[in-house]
Amino acid sequence: MDSIFLITVLIVIFALTFDFINGFHDTANAIATSVSTKALRPRHAIILAAVMNFVGAMTFTGVAKTITKDIVDPFTLPNGSLVILAALIAAITWNLITWYYGIPSSSSHALIGSIAGAAIVAAGFSELQWGGFLNILAALIISPILAFVAGYIVYTIIKTIFRNANLAKTNRNFRIVQIATAAVQSYSHGTNDAQKAMGIITLALMANGYLSTHEVPFWVQLACATAMGLGTSVGGWKIIKTVGGKIMKIRPVNGVAADITGASVIFGATLIHLPVSTTHVISSSIMGVGTAHRVKGVNWGTAKNMLITWVITLPISATLAGLAYVILSFFMS
């Protein structure tokens, strides 16, 4: 069997595995608030998220095109296949480690850091497309800050409008609204996160001469959407517990505000073709809402641990990818 074809097949398998893991790793964030407030039963929430993730993934491809051209050039990258395979192995490894410990880390940070780390080891810092790479980093950094501020503002507006309403009745009504906002948030997650695996597979097809444009083939889009939907159906209970209960005690009104904020920021990033971390955005939305509700009600210890994980994900995933590339080069050169 041709070695290039074999490596391409391996990349497709690992990319779909990454998407599957992303489904239960990151989608847990999208439904965490609705599960924690009992707006949806866990099984119903997972089914809803799986369907909406699939629909979202089938709707857009702009972020995937950004992945294919804004980090490295697939047509000039030395040993491009091994770089991509090493990046996937590193990102999957870090995702599984953080999932095991129930830490809501960023799959986006892991993947972007892994591609950069493997490319640097393969060809040096000059191989990175610095303009596009820095734009992606800026989006990853700015989006959670924007989500925090927006969450604070959205909840403040809702709190002002309903300040004289009956609390019990309001929470019952917002619990119903939460079903819709959970669906919208899951949809927005699919529009952004599933495209990262689409971009990786398309990048490999271009690097190996099977594709000459940045257009994502339909079979790639369908396969990634299906993998994420199936991954979502598995669920990610450890992360649901962290996001849904350990940041703050979430009531339906808080959940609606956080969901609206998270979905808006994520979908906005999708429209401008930038990958963002749904984990960062959703968690920051909850923190912003919690701060507007009662500053002392936010578990800042949990927030601190999450922040540390966010900061270390890029360098750790880059290092893991570099090591994976060296090992793969030794055995496959």
The 10s digit of each residue's pLDDT in 255-292 is 899 999 999 999 999 999 999 988 889 889 988 999 99
Q: Which residues contact 217 (CB under 8 A, 6 or more apart)?
A: 202, 205, 211
Under 8 Å between Cβ of 54 and 226 = yes
Closest CA to 318 of 166, 111, 145, 169: 111
Under 8 Å between Cβ of 209 and 30 = no
Could you give the CA distance from residue 283 to residue 297 in angstroms, rounded to a whole number? 15
Under 8 Å between Cβ of 122 and 83 = yes
Provide the pLDDT for residue 246.
57
Check: pTM over 0.75? Answer yes or no.
yes
Provide the pLDDT for residue 244.
47
SS3 of residue 58 by DSSP:
coil
Under 8 Å between Cβ of 58 and 50 = no
Amino acid found at 242: T
Under 8 Å between Cβ of 109 and 313 = yes
Residue extents of the structural domains in the chain: 3-332
Under 8 Å between Cβ of 201 and 74 = no
Could you give the CA distance from residue 333 to residue 321 in angstroms, rounded to a whole number? 17
What residues does 128 pair with on adjacent strands?
A: 72
Region class of 209: left (phi > 0), else alpha (psi between -120 and 50), else beta: left
pLDDT means per 10 residues in the chain (333 residues)?
A: 85 94 73 80 83 91 90 87 94 87 78 94 92 92 94 94 81 89 91 90 91 90 91 66 59 90 95 89 90 83 78 92 94 73
